[in-house]
Amino acid sequence: MTRIRYMPDNPSVQVVHSIPGRFRVKSRTFTNPALDPDYVTAFIAALPGVLQVRMNTGSGSIVVEHDPGADVRDEILLRLQNLPNEAFLPEVSQRSGPDLFEVGTRTFAAAITPFLPRSLQGPFSWALSIPTLVGGAETLVTEGLKVEVLDASVRLMSLARKNYFVGNAVGAMLSMAAYFEESSTRQANDLLKNLLRPQADRLRVERDGTEVLIDSDQAMVGDIVICGPGEMIPVDGLVISGEASVNACSITGESSPVHAMPGSEVLSGGIIEEGRLRVEALNVGKETSMARIGKFLEKSLRTQSGHQRWSHTLADRLVPLTFGVGLGVYALTGSAARAASVLAVDYSCAIKLATPVAVRTAMYHAGKNGVLLKGAQALEALGSVDTLIFDKTGTLTHGLLELTDILPLEDFTEDEVLALAAGAEEHYGHPVARAVLKAARERNLSLPPISQVDFIVAHGVSAYVDDKRVLVGSRHFIEEDEGISCAEVDGEAEILQDGGKTLLYLALEGRLVALMALRDTLRSEAGATLKALKASGFSHLVMLSGDQPRPVHAVADQLKELDEVHAGLKPEDKARIVARLKEEGRKVAFVGDGVNDSPALLSADVGICMSEGADLARDAAQVVLMKDDLDGLVLARSIARDTSKVLHNALWSAVGINSTLLVLAGTGRISTLTSAALHNASTIGILAYAAMNKGEQDALPS
């Protein structure tokens, strides 16, 4: 939840027009050049009952459309009057484009110009041009040669030549183009924001045996939350009773509802289509999946990729080129008409705006299909990486280990050693721990009281039972770190490992008391996914694992596309391999899901986390697969590469078309009016092409 800080010096927000379900507000704050309009619209759109938010920073107004039956108006006004600090970015300066009324007015003014008395045409045209001329002069003084200076120069030269109709027509076309440019950007932003559904502001919980309605910020971990038909699940949690059909499309991208029953995990943001659930809250407030997705999306609206920064730099450098060509044409020919025709051609609009439009549209379509991209950088990097590293457990395999063998030593029984291991592992979220606990529950075992529990990442667990130390973990942990010999079970261990099983050792008070074995299963789609990834341009596929070599190579033998396999690794070893591959000149993506994968996720060019990944892994990754399969990798790669092609085509189309127009204008083949019309039409066409970017979704493996 975003914290609102009251600012007493903030000018009041005034409602200037209101009808049921819609109202317009104005404030001087909305004209602040440091205000981030995307953040403000997302901040208001996140309120339950708000349907659409439109902001015009030029006029300092915001139009809000909402459900007429929802009592949200006061909350909207409170938020607008007390915008959080995050809404202001001093380094960002954004200008709001014209609305349809302004476009229509300028078009009408241009159309009637030839029919006005000659004595009125001049004053009328100068008055219409004042905003453009003043804006151009301010830009020249404060920022140098930018597109606003070009626009002002064209208008000024037309007015100086007393060609009033051309000047006003160019002004109308510039206004229309600016409207379509801003509309394209706004629609791309709105697509991205639509992935974020508003959080429930109130929820029903059981307190002292009764159902009570509380504010969402009062929810606590462990609360029993009640969710009925048509309601949104407000927490991440575990279903403890009831059954329901849950539409989780906004979270996972699944097109069909999923069946939730006791024992199922549910995520915030899912909508119950039918049925009723009692859910034990595991994550509430800002820790829920929807809140994290919202944070990622708000951040992504603000960030620029390297390609976007480069295109902005290129566009700014081409403005002086256009200006120089115009002056050169005037110096050589003495024709102000030709010079004005040249100045009507501007490279920057299409080059600058195509990138954010294409990127945000791609991010939206990726999100709708279950792939969350945390910003433009992630999309760009995913399209350029050539090496993909997988952590084995939970990525290429399901990570749902099953306990298959228990070999007790001394006088212990299977149930006794299993109860000891399950007690020590009870609060550890690792797949091995889940498998041990599952086996203990299936045998209805009572777990002993455990104290002083220590989790040693990628090694094992240390705990105390009745003041006796229990160790559960890998052979490396038991034998090398703790000095307890495991030699007496070498024969049994070798047989189990030959079967592709993972070994788990149990020690009590400094002696080995049991050997256990677990088995994981390969994901059914893993082989086809690796083939598709190789076809998409990955030249090097690597598998890493903390498991012992035999079970790791048993999995690798089934995946012929792997180029490199490493086993028995610590978390720092995985990060070291990532660093080594990067030193070799490779661009590396890493796919993982556990806490022990976080160093590698952070050190890779792109970190990718599976849907069931640990919170730390999800936060460390730049890409999160919201469906529990690998198909999202192929989709994400396809969208990233397709976006790269769209940006390449848009850039060179803009350069090619405008360069042609520059030559035609400079040689007098086209008039100022034709030059402006063709330039603006090409800009709108390029933006429309960028807005259709969806990625090659048919590249998914069958």
Any catalytic annotation for residue 391? yes
Dump pLDDT digits (tens) for 598-611: 778 878 888 898 87
Q: DSSP assignment of 112-142, as one string?
A: HGGGS-HHHHHHHHHHHHHHHHHHHHHHHHH
- Percentage with pLDDT > 90 across the chain: 16
pLDDT average, residue stretch 408-419: 92
Radius of gyration (C-alpha) of the chain in whole angstroms: 31
Task: Let me know if domain 202-287 sits in CATH 2.70.150.10.
Answer: yes
Alpha-carbon distance of 158 to 516, in angstroms, equals 87
Which is higher by pLDDT, 686 or 176?
686
Nearest residue to 186 (alpha-carbon basis) of 687, 693, 689, 645: 687
The topology under which CATH files domain 14-94 is Alpha-Beta Plaits (3.30.70)
Model pLDDT for residues 446-481, shown as the tens digit of each residue: 888 888 888 776 578 899 887 889 999 888 889 988
- What value does the mean pLDDT take over residues 51-60? 82
The pLDDT confidence band at residue 364, using thresholds 50, 70 and 90, is confident
pLDDT at residue 192 is higher than 80 = no
What is the per-residue pLDDT for 521? 79
**Of 96-110, 457-471, 670-684, minimum mean pLDDT range:** 96-110
Q: Which one has a higher pLDDT value, 184 or 554?
A: 554
Dist CA 522 CA 561 (whole Å): 14
Pick the CATH number of 402-519 from 2.40.30.170, 1.10.510.10, 3.40.50.300, 3.40.1110.10: 3.40.1110.10
Q: How far apart are CA 629 and CA 611, in angstroms?
A: 8
Query: Which residue of the set 236, 316, 391, 593 is catalytic?
Result: 391
Q: Residue holding tokens 């599952």?
A: 438
pLDDT beyond 50 at 137: yes
The pLDDT tens digits for 496-538 are 887 778 889 999 999 999 999 988 778 889 999 999 999 999 9
For the cut 70, the answer to whether the pLDDT of residue 248 exceeds it is no
Q: Do domains 14-94 and 402-519 have the same CATH topology?
A: no
Higher pLDDT, 653 or 270: 653
Q: What is the pLDDT of residue 472?
A: 92
Average pLDDT score over residue span 390-411: 86
Worst-scoring range by mean pLDDT, 5-14, 72-81, 171-180, 623-632?
Answer: 5-14
Question: What is the pLDDT confidence band of residue 266, given thresholds at 50, 70 and 90?
Answer: confident
Q: Residue 84 in 3-state DSSP?
A: coil
458: left (phi over 0), alpha (psi -120 to 50) or beta: left
Residue ranges of the domains in the chain?
14-94, 100-191+298-359+641-697, 202-287, 371-397+522-626, 402-519
Q: What pLDDT, on a 0 to 100 scale, did the predictor assign at position 412?
A: 92
Task: Give the pLDDT confidence score for residue 157 in this predicted structure.
Answer: 80
What are 421-434's pLDDT values in tens digits? Answer: 998 888 776 778 88
Stated pTM of the model = 0.59
* Homologous superfamily, domain 371-397+522-626: HAD superfamily/HAD-like (3.40.50.1000)
